[in-house]
Amino acid sequence: MRTEKVKYASLIKARAADLGFSGCGISAATLLEDEGTRLERWLKAGLHGNMGYMENNFDKRIDPRKLVTGAKSVISVLHNYFPSQKQSNPEAPVLSKYAYGTDYHFIVKDKLKQLLLFMNESIGEINGRAFCDSAPVLDRAWAARSGLGWIGKNSNLLTKGSGSFFFIGELIVDIDLPADAPVKEYCGNCRRCIDACPTGAILAPRELDARKCISYLTIEFRDGLPEWMRDKMGNRVFGCDICQDVCPWNKKAIPHNEPLLDPDPGLMAMSPDEWHGMDSQVFNLYFKRSAVRRAGFKQLKRNLDFLQDQASKR
């Protein structure tokens, strides 16, 4: 039986690679006790800001068996999104790299569903669900448990081979598969991410104050941007990659090969004037199926107006 399960795991990982995933690991679907304790402490400290949804379904966040009946294994996958292109105008408002192309939710979940279909066809009837930042699942915790990387000081999952520019997804399934071993941490004494954060959002290794995070403020935060953000936001209009850009492990990042993640050339070439003159029609042209729709046109304009006002007061 053990040999058969090892064979199943090998088949799953091979198919995951064929689908374009850059990593695949397996962990037992058990209670996340330590992670649950840290999450509870983080929420009680109010470090999640106005992301009230983080307080919901706490039991499901730490126990996958409450999401999938009879769950026995969590199959975690990584999908590279590091781009080969850059925005051509260095003065233009900056998008986070993950938002260049099609919304990752569609891409990763579609591939996960294909992986689950493959499992049903090649192994037998398996009940499971696909997740990608779309339900109460602690993605990074499961990826770390499955040996795909370690949690860095900036709270992102890091890998020795390719850094941290990847999406994380899971299949929670009711088949018992051999679990992979976690890997050790390789951050050492490095604190480049902590020192580089312009707002001091990284309070300590693996302790993030979302209320100070540029990604949170430009995407999740719905009120007016706080005055203290002036001259700290740089030119970032949606998300922030600073703590990843300075990470030494991301020197190993290589461009993805997923066409759906490639940006529209027109978007990459937009000038500052074109950005600030954007209307809803242009927004829909470039961001119809983009993760930027999470913020929406009104919020993107709020961010653009803040940048413009910030520049006028320098």
Domain-by-domain residue ranges, the chain? 2-173, 192-251+263-312
pLDDT reported for residue 230: 86
pLDDT reported for residue 3: 84
Under the banding of pLDDT at 50, 70 and 90, the label for residue 95 is very high
Q: Which of 133, 174, 180, 262 is catalytic?
A: 133
Residue 309 has pLDDT above 90, yes or no: no
Under the banding of pLDDT at 50, 70 and 90, the label for residue 120 is very high
We find that the CATH architecture of domain 2-173 is 3-Layer(aba) Sandwich (3.40)
Residue 266 has pLDDT above 80, yes or no: yes
pLDDT reported for residue 112: 98
Question: What is the rounded average pLDDT for all residues in the chain?
Answer: 95
pLDDT reported for residue 127: 97
How confident is the model over 57-82, as pLDDT tens digits? Answer: 999 999 999 999 999 999 999 999 99
Residue 46 has pLDDT above 90, yes or no: yes
Residue 135 has pLDDT above 90, yes or no: no
pLDDT (average), residues 199-216: 97
> Is 209 known to be catalytic?
no
pLDDT reported for residue 144: 98
pLDDT (average), residues 3-31: 96
Residue 1 has pLDDT above 70, yes or no: no
Residue 310 has pLDDT above 90, yes or no: no
How confident is the model over 148-177, as pLDDT tens digits? Answer: 999 999 999 999 989 999 999 999 999 999
Note every long-range contact of 202-209, with CB atoms under 8 Å and residues 24 or more positions apart, other chains counting: 202/153, 202/154, 202/155, 202/243, 203/47, 205/153, 206/151, 206/152, 206/153, 206/155, 207/42, 207/47, 207/155, 208/47, 208/154, 208/155, 209/47
Residue 85 has pLDDT above 90, yes or no: yes
**What amino acid occupies position 227?**
E
pLDDT reported for residue 82: 98
Residue 288 has pLDDT above 80, yes or no: yes
Q: How far is CA 169 from the centre of its chain?
A: 9
Enumerate residues 6+ apart whose C-beta is below 8 A from 55: 43, 48
